Structure 1
Amino acid sequence: MHLPLLQRARFQDAHIRPLLALLLLLALVAGPLAIAPSADAATKKPLDIVKIVYDPSGRDTWKNGHLNKEYIVLKNTGKKTLSLTGYTLRDNGPQRFRFPKGTKIKPGKTLTIRSGKGKNTSSTLYWGTKSYIWNNTHDTARTYNSKGKKLESCTYKKLTKKATKKYVRTTATTAYC
C-alpha cells in the first residue's frame, strides 16, 4: 500500500508507522460511513406534503368560497407519473379524503386539495365538505398509499417560526412541510 503522507512524515519509532497507516486506512473507510445519511433519510418519498393553508385570512364564514381558501398542496417528487387511485389523505381527526379513481400527478408537479366543493381538475381536487378540515391551532396531515402504508406526515402548530423535530415551520395561516 502506497501512502505518500506517511513517507513524508518523519517518525523515529518504526512501530508508529504501521499504527498510523492502520488509523489512516480506518479513517478513509469509516469516514464516509459516519457522515452518510440513514436509510430512512435517503429514501425519497414519492408524494410529499409541501404546504397547508390551515387558517385562511378573514372570518371563518363556513361558506364554500372561504372553505376553498383552506387547502393542502402535494408534490410528486419521483421521476414517474404517480397514480393516486386508492390513496388517502387524513387529518388528526376523523376526516379522510380518498383520491378519485384515475387521479394522476406527473413528476415534479403539484396537486392542490381544497376543503370545499368545486369541479376537480388535473391540478386541483375538492374535498367536498361543508366544514373546515385543518385545525387553526395545530393538526397533522398524513398521506397513505393504496395499500394503507403511511407515506408522509406533517404536524404543525400555529406560529412555530422554526421547524423542530415535532413541528414544521408555520406562519399565522400556513404550514410549510
Structure 2
Amino acid sequence: MRHHTKAAAAAALATATAVGGLVTAAPASAAGSVHLTKIYYNSPGSDNGSNASLNAEYVQIKNSTSRAVSLKGWKLTDASRHTYTFGTYSLGAGKTVTVHTGKGRDTAAHRYQNSRAYVWNNTKDTATLKKPSGARVDSCSYNNARRAFVNC
C-alpha cells in the first residue's frame, strides 16, 4: 500500500507541476538541514527600483537542525550567477534568515545583498545555496509569472 501512496503523490506532483508551471527541488529538510524555504521573486506593486521594492524581493533560508550552523562563505546564487556571499554569520537552530535584494542593516534574521537592481526574474529563475567548497546544499526553481513567490 505504501508504494501506491508514493506513486499517487508523485503523480499528483507531476500534474500540479504541469498545470501550474511550478518546479521545485525535493525538500532537503527530511533529516534536518539548512535549506531554501521561499523565494519572493516579484515584489508587490510596480518594479520602480526603489530600495523598498528591491527589499520586497527576497529568499528565505531555514536551519532545521538542532544546532547553529555557520554560513560564513556560503553563496546564494540565481541562474544568471548573481551571487550573495555570507560573511561571518551563524544561523541558529530552527531559525530562518531572509536575504533581501536591496540595501539595509544586517541582523540575525535579515541580511541584505546591497544590490541596486533586481536579482530574481519575475517569470522563472533558480536559487542555489552552496557551501564555500562549492558543494550544492539546496536549490529551488520556479516558472510561473502569475505568482509572486514560491515555497520551496
Q: Same fold (TM over 0.5)?
A: yes
State whether structure 2 residue 149 is matched by structure 1 residue 174: yes
CA distance in 2, matches of 1:87, 1:57: 28
State whether structure 2 residue 57 is matched by structure 1 residue 57: no
**What secondary structure sits across from 1:66 in the alignment?**
helix
Gaps (5+ residues) in structure 2? 6-26
User: Contact conserved, 2:58 with 2:99, CA < 8 A, in 1?
Assistant: yes
User: Contact conserved, 1:76 with 1:82, CA < 8 A, in 2?
Assistant: yes
**What secondary structure sits across from 1:67 in the alignment?**
helix
How much has 1:74 moved relative to structure 2?
A: 0.4
Gaps (5+ residues) in structure 1? 1-31, 160-170
How much has 1:44 moved relative to structure 2?
A: 3.1
Q: Please name the residue that 2:15 is paired with.
A: none
One-letter identity of the residue aligned with 1:106: G
User: Contact conserved, 2:28 with 2:35, CA < 8 A, in 1?
Assistant: no
Identity among equivalent positions (%) equals: 32
CA distance in 1, matches of 2:31, 2:140: 16
User: Contact conserved, 1:71 with 1:113, CA < 8 A, in 2?
Assistant: yes
How much has 1:43 moved relative to structure 2?
A: 6.2
Equivalent of 2:129 in 114, 138, 143: 143
1:115-126 superposed matches below 5 A: 115-126=101-112
User: Contact conserved, 1:139 with 1:155, CA < 8 A, in 2?
Assistant: yes
Equivalent of 1:87 in 44, 50, 74: 74
Residues 87 and 140 from structure 1, CA distance in 2 versus in 1: closer, same or farther, beyond 3 angstroms?
same
Per-residue CA distance 1:70-124 (angstroms, 9 max, x = gap): 00100001111000001110000120000012x1111111000000001000100
User: Contact conserved, 2:28 with 2:138, CA < 8 A, in 1?
Assistant: no
The alignment's TM-score, normalised by the length of structure 1, stands at 0.67
The alignment's TM-score, normalised by the length of structure 2, stands at 0.78
User: Contact conserved, 1:45 with 1:152, CA < 8 A, in 2?
Assistant: no
Q: Which one has the largest radius of gyration?
A: 1
How much has 1:146 moved relative to structure 2?
A: 2.0
Q: Please name the residue that 1:130 is paired with.
A: 116
1:39-50 superposed matches below 5 A: 44=31, 46-50=33-37
**What secondary structure sits across from 2:53 in the alignment?**
helix
How many residues are matched?
129
User: Contact conserved, 2:29 with 2:35, CA < 8 A, in 1?
Assistant: no
Q: Please name the residue that 1:104 is paired with.
A: 90
RMSD of aligned alpha carbons: 2.2
**What secondary structure sits across from 1:65 in the alignment?**
helix
